[in-house]
Structure 1
Amino acid sequence: MTISEASKLSATPPATTARPVIWIGAISTGVIVTNLFAPQILVGLISRSLDMTAWQAGLISTLTLLGYALGLLLLVPLVDLVENKRLILRTLACAILAAVATALAPTTLLLLVATFILGACCAAIQMVVPLVASMVAPERRGQAIGEVMSGLMIGILLSRPAASLIADAWSWRGYYVVSAILMTLLAGALARYLPTLRPATTVSYGALLRSFPRLLREEPVLRVRAWTAALVMASFTAFWAAVALRLPDAPFALDARGIALFALIGVAGAAATPLAGRWGDRGLARPMLIGSHLLIIGSLALCAWAGVIESRIAALLVLSAGTILLDVGITTDQTLGRRAVNLLRPEARGRINGLFVALFFVGGAVGAASASIAWNFGGWTMVCVVAAAFGVLGFVTDIATTTGTS
């Protein structure tokens, strides 16, 4: 008996789900995901507080993200094996404890262990998304996923400025205390509103993990949509990894507070996610995907141009417009990709979501590395060229295949 045959849901989820479930899902993903990116802005404060070496300080973000990657591959598949609501609440409880442990960590070793566990438990995000998707009829699934993804994208974009502001008001430990409090409040809301969904499976956890290669081999939609999601994530991380280096210089001339405020501009792009999901439900996924990749290319051309404009105000306006359009393009691809993979096998939704996110997570790492090389080779303009190249590859994929666009 195959996993597909053995792993049938014990109950058919309702065709529609209450609005509170979608909104709480969006808020939950947005709050939890800040723990993954906040260390990038807090690393200086943490390292000075604990007298860390440069090598140890670099491990803070690395271990947080490594923990998340392992959580995607080792914890998210449990969605296909364990009752979903209980799994999410227990994973979130561990995240709360890890955040508290990080805030109280007296030594470098304890802090690194706590941040690694916190990163792994942030995989709860990818447990919430498929659960919400499973509670919505297929013809409305794109809209629901888009609304949850808007919370996720807002959380990613707000994580750095929010962490900076909280750290300025209290300390870096204060950020993790606030995070623990918010996740505790969310746990109460999730306990009340999340539906119960129990997969009926006779296969083992080991069999679930061993099924990853087969799923990737058998599902072309997963391969194609994860590929373009990885490409746009590479554009996203390349841009945001380098823009903070460019903004202090002319013509932008922003200080640290100005850079934090600039990061808020990207939040406007998250408004595209519900629209992208809704239009995907109406059969417009293919033109939306083509448009999203062309938008990425064009927006990065604007961003490159902004760097050579003499007027400070004009340069900031053009860069802001390019940033918003870039985030619209990226979130559109991400939302439509999520919609496509969540229309695949219901009995493997957890593993499929884990694979999808893990693969575009690799794209993010490639983008960050590419930005570093491009910056050293040709500065801001070269970063924009490289980031746009990822969009070009996405556009070529759109022309080459229609897989995952129905």
Structure 2
Amino acid sequence: MKTLLAAICAVAVATVYAAQPVLGEIGKSLQVPTDALGWLVSAGQLGYLIGLVLLVPLGDRFDRRRLIPLHLGLVGIGMLAVALSPAAWVAFAGLAFAGLFAVVVQTTVAYAAAVSEPGERGRNLGFVTSGVVVGILGSRLIAGMMADLWGWRSIYVLLAALSLLLGAAALRLLPVDVRPPSRHHSVLVGGIGRLLTEPAFLSRGVIAFFLFASFGTLWSGMALPLSEAPWHLTETQIGLFGLAGLTGALGAVRAGHWADGGKANRVTGLALVALVASWVLIAQLPWSLTLLVVGIVVLDFAVQAVHVSNQHILTAQHPDRVSTTIGGYMVFYSLGSAVGAVTTTVSFSAWGWAGSSILGAVFAAAALVAWGLGLPFVGKPRSGEPDSARHSGSVTHRE
């Protein structure tokens, strides 16, 4: 079951990020100017943001086993619209529509967290969310290769087919997830707003915002300098850098075990220091691809370690509303990713890769500062909730 859930996460998130290595080709095909290319990624991320607020909380009210295939089917429709788009506005609309329902990723992660035993939640989240990393980074490799062979539209045809196939598999293979009587959907959506009043939740959200802004700065901007002098790499060659990121991110699957052992907050701090340091290596792109590869491995290890630790802490604090909590947390993720995607292309157009590297490092440093400022709130129970009422598996109880 975990493998199926991870595959769903991989394909769904790939629909948002597959454009990254082929931005130049899509821009030429649909006549999108260079300084606006970042919006091809951000369109899906903004749709994702809306879905996080409106759709993910449904998982706390309805059977997630039925929500997952429904949303995957709608993702497939959005991908077909992109694949067949005759003009830029159709592609933007298709990406936004697919992004809206690509939040099936968070419904899937919430499903995994809800059915896990407390002592296994961290490792299960680590395994399932590894699918997210495979989707983000693996799609770069596959998209680059397919674009060289059959054009950029072919990747969206493939993603549409995979979305529909996985939706059918989920409906057939996943156990029914019966929801107890729950509050109205508007109350659940309002719960995201109430989470923002909790300092511990807000701290983790701000960390996620800057974390994924830094991540987006690299992966949404890197294709531009690599396709220019002195490297002049093809889409396939640019996509191969996804293997470096995949190596680093999958290495951080261990973060789930560390979280189960009560080290989630410590791992977060150390990983954010590594994230800042990675940009020193990534900035060497104009002179050394070797240092770039090392920097990518470090960056993606750090991002995945922090992401798993954050989700472990928050789902342990809110076991009664996992979907709403993850949805609220991922709002910060989506906003950060969109900001990173847009600002890196603008920065590159104005100041080259040096500007993008400084931007990514600033985002990383801001995440580290947010972690430090949030330390006093880690381990404190929710407002009005005694320690005895907290989930026995909560990492924050031990930190």
Q: State the TM-score, normalized to the length of structure 2.
A: 0.85
Select which of 335, 344, 366 maps to 1:362. Answer: 335
Select which of 151, 155, 159 maps to 1:179. Answer: 159
Match of 1:302 in 2: 281
Q: Which amino acid aligns with 2:329?
A: F
Match of 2:220 in 1: 241
Match of 1:94 in 2: 74
Residue 252 of structure 2 corresponds to residue 279 of structure 1: no
Select which of 270, 284, 304 maps to 1:331. Answer: 304
Match of 1:166 in 2: 146
Q: For residue 377 of structure 1, report the CA deviation from its aligned partner.
A: 5.7
Q: For residue 85 of structure 1, report the CA deviation from its aligned partner.
A: 0.6
Q: For residue 300 of structure 1, report the CA deviation from its aligned partner.
A: 1.3
CA contact (8 A) 2:6 2:128 kept: yes
Q: For residue 42 of structure 1, report the CA deviation from its aligned partner.
A: 4.9
Max radius of gyration: which structure?
A: 1
Q: Which amino acid aligns with 2:100?
A: A
Residue 32 of structure 2 corresponds to residue 32 of structure 1: no
Q: Work out the CA distance in 1 between the residues paired with 2:84 and 2:233.
A: 34
Match of 1:393 in 2: 366
Match of 1:343 in 2: 316
Q: For residue 276 of structure 1, report the CA deviation from its aligned partner.
A: 0.6
Q: Which amino acid aligns with 1:339?
A: H
Q: Work out the CA distance in 1 between the residues paired with 2:331 and 2:239.
A: 28
Does the C-alpha gap of structure 1 residues 53 and 324 become closer, same or farther in structure 2, counting only changes over 3 Å?
closer
Does the C-alpha gap of structure 1 residues 58 and 321 become closer, same or farther in structure 2, counting only changes over 3 Å?
closer
Match of 1:14 in 2: none
Q: Work out the CA distance in 1 between the residues paired with 2:84 and 2:113.
A: 36
CA contact (8 A) 1:78 1:350 kept: yes
CA contact (8 A) 1:375 1:382 kept: yes
Match of 1:5 in 2: none
The within-5 A match list for 1:14-163 is 21-42=1-22, 60-105=40-85, 111-163=91-143
CA contact (8 A) 2:82 2:91 kept: yes
Match of 1:12 in 2: none
CA contact (8 A) 1:149 1:273 kept: no
Q: For residue 150 of structure 1, report the CA deviation from its aligned partner.
A: 1.2
May I ask how many residue pairs the two structures share in their alignment? 378
Q: Work out the CA distance in 1 between the residues paired with 2:87 and 2:265.
A: 51
Does the C-alpha gap of structure 1 residues 371 and 179 become closer, same or farther in structure 2, counting only changes over 3 Å?
closer
Q: Work out the CA distance in 2 between the residues paired with 1:143 and 1:30.
A: 17
Q: For residue 235 of structure 1, report the CA deviation from its aligned partner.
A: 1.2
| Residue ranges of structure 2 left out of the alignment (5+ in a row) | 380-395
| Residue ranges of structure 1 left out of the alignment (5+ in a row) | 1-20, 310-314
Q: Percent identity?
A: 30
CA contact (8 A) 2:252 2:302 kept: no
Does the C-alpha gap of structure 1 residues 227 and 107 become closer, same or farther in structure 2, counting only changes over 3 Å?
closer
Q: Work out the CA distance in 1 between the residues paired with 2:165 and 2:36.
A: 32
Between stretches 250-259 and 148-157, larger displacement belongs to 250-259
Does the C-alpha gap of structure 1 residues 155 and 351 become closer, same or farther in structure 2, counting only changes over 3 Å?
same
Select which of 231, 234, 258 maps to 2:210. Answer: 231
Q: Which amino acid aligns with 1:117?
A: F
Q: State the TM-score, normalized to the length of structure 1.
A: 0.83
CA contact (8 A) 1:252 1:316 kept: no
Q: For residue 400 of structure 1, report the CA deviation from its aligned partner.
A: 3.4
Between stretches 98-107 and 340-349, larger displacement belongs to 98-107
Match of 2:193 in 1: 213
Q: For residue 335 of structure 1, report the CA deviation from its aligned partner.
A: 1.0
Q: Work out the CA distance in 2 between the residues paired with 1:287 and 1:258.
A: 36
Match of 2:393 in 1: none
Does the C-alpha gap of structure 1 residues 208 and 106 become closer, same or farther in structure 2, counting only changes over 3 Å?
same
Q: Work out the CA distance in 1 between the residues paired with 2:24 and 2:358.
A: 30
Deviations 1:94-128 (A, max 9, x none): 22233334434566665554433222111111110
Q: Work out the CA distance in 2 between the residues paired with 1:47 and 1:128.
A: 33
Does the C-alpha gap of structure 1 residues 76 and 133 become closer, same or farther in structure 2, counting only changes over 3 Å?
same
CA contact (8 A) 1:30 1:154 kept: yes
Q: Work out the CA distance in 2 between the residues paired with 1:228 and 1:246.
A: 28
Match of 2:247 in 1: 268
Does the C-alpha gap of structure 1 residues 155 and 187 become closer, same or farther in structure 2, counting only changes over 3 Å?
same
Helix, strand or coil: the match of 1:201? Answer: coil
Match of 2:391 in 1: none
